[in-house]
Amino acid sequence: MDDEYAKLIRRMNPPRVVIDNDACEDATVIQVDSVNKHGILLEVVQVLTDMNLVITKAYISSDGVWFMDVFNVIDQDGKKIRDREVIGYIQRRLESNASCFLSLRGSVGVMPSEEHTSIELTGTDRPGLLSEVCAVLTDLHCNVVNAEIWTHNARAAAVVHVTDDSTGCAIEDPKRLTTIKELLCIVLKGNNDLKAAKMTLSTPGITSRERRLHQIMFADRDYERIERAGLGKDRPKLLFDIVCTLTDMEYVVFHGMVNTGRMEAYQEFYIRHIDGLPISSDAEQERVIQCLEAAIERRASEGLELELCTEDRVGLLSDITRIFRENSLCIRRAEISTKGGKAKDTFYVTDVTGNPVDPKIIDSICQQVGQTKLQVKHNSTLLPKPPQETTMGYLFGNLFKA
């Protein structure tokens, strides 16, 4: 009855979204007023993140039954959002009540979609792991159409969308799916995996890949064994990663403020449990700190950024990751996508010890793959390190106040 009453209240009070280009000199202001519910802040931030908008400032207030937030956003070029079609799309997405959000505790389905089969992987990270996974999928006549891979604290997680390489459709045969699962589990386990490797077939489209990766790594407890590092610098999707983790830990942000400078980010949140109780112990406080630091680190762009743009073909990902492995490169993070017969893949790589890659090795790989196909986009190892006093560890040290 309580759930039906909540639905009735939401239908009677639909979200109100105001998008204003005059209120701020250097950003588009988006104001969202709605009936409050657990996860609504993540819902709004995810819409803005999916549109590749940069949130420069935010004021969050969701105390009681109402949610009233203001976001200052710009596009990837640092400009206001002026395209009327884009503004209309943002407004429709934010005002829609159709979004469905699953709890972290929700079970994962086993039915592939008509377009592709979604595979979720987790295991101990090691050099060449992605290459081995891709080789197995190629041998099993699976074509990778989209994927995202994260590594953190010696753990690896991936969400991979595959199709049958002959039909281009999802793989539905139960025996074949069982074979895929068994062989991938063997690859993930390796020789000395003390924690169990996992491979799951999931229903795609229910939860975003990025949120699923956060949930997978959180469930894998990758926040343990964390090494404190300098994390004061701003980066894309930082707010999404933090709000996603707080939501999945079943905390509510009832007040907050976000402000970004030229290179740094400052975010302050007042949180409590969904039952209204505040954090009550030092152990719980430390766990929140660990989990938030892990959420920030997972997407950190460590190493050299390489971008592959070429015609898509079956086995392409297997070939490129094999070349990386043969040249002793370790893939720290990867984003794989195909559209209109074109593959656009991004890899963040280091050597096997985690150090910067020798430029001569990169030149050799580019010659093997093709200078126009594989290009160096960015090298995070060349960026100046932030001052010690602005590290996220320092900020978290002063976060919890009575």
What is the pLDDT averaged over residues 314-319?
92
Q: How many whole angstroms separate alpha carbon 116 and alpha carbon 301?
A: 28
Q: Of 32, 20, 34, nearest to 59 (Cα)?
A: 32
> In this model, does residue 374 exceed pLDDT 50?
yes
218: number of Cβ within 10 Å: 20
The dihedrals phi and psi of 145, each to the nearest 5 degrees, come to: -100, -30
Question: Between the CA of residue 138 and those of 230, 241, 309, 318, what are the distances in Å?
Answer: 39, 32, 20, 7
What is the pLDDT averaged over residues 230-244?
80
Residue partners of 7: CB distance under 8 A and separation at least 6? none
pLDDT of res. 345 = 95
Q: What is the pLDDT of residues 15-26, one digit of tens each?
A: 789 999 999 999
pLDDT of res. 9 = 60
**Taking the model in full, what pTM does it have?**
0.77
pLDDT of res. 236 = 82
What is the pLDDT averaged over residues 59-84?
90
Q: How confident is the model at residue 201 (pLDDT cuts 50, 70, 90)?
A: low
Q: Cα-Cα-Cα-Cα dihedral of 303, 307, 312, 316, to 10°?
A: -30
Q: How confident is the model at residue 391 (pLDDT cuts 50, 70, 90)?
A: very low
pLDDT of res. 244 = 93
What is the pLDDT averaged over residues 233-256?
90
pLDDT of res. 38 = 83
Tokens 């402000």 -> residue: 259
Query: 311 versus 384: which is more confidently predicted?
Result: 311
> In this model, does residue 398 exceed pLDDT 50?
no
pLDDT of res. 310 = 94
Average pLDDT over the chain, rounded to whole?
82
pLDDT of res. 265 = 86
Query: 107 versus 355: which is more confidently predicted?
Result: 355
Query: 311 versus 34: which is more confidently predicted?
Result: 311
> In this model, does residue 1 exceed pLDDT 50?
yes
Question: Any idea where the domains of the chain sit in the sequence?
Answer: 7-98+233-298, 117-223+301-377
Q: How confident is the model at residue 35 (pLDDT cuts 50, 70, 90)?
A: confident
Tokens 């069982």 -> residue: 178
pLDDT of res. 331 = 94
pLDDT of res. 395 = 41
388: number of Cβ within 10 Å: 10
Tokens 């592709």 -> residue: 116
Q: How many whole angstroms separate alpha carbon 323 and alpha carbon 368?
A: 8
Q: What is the CATH number of domain 117-223+301-377?
A: 3.30.70.260
Q: What is the pLDDT of residues 115-150, one digit of tens each?
A: 888 899 998 898 999 999 999 999 999 999 999 999
Report whether 273 contacts 284 (CB < 8 A).
no
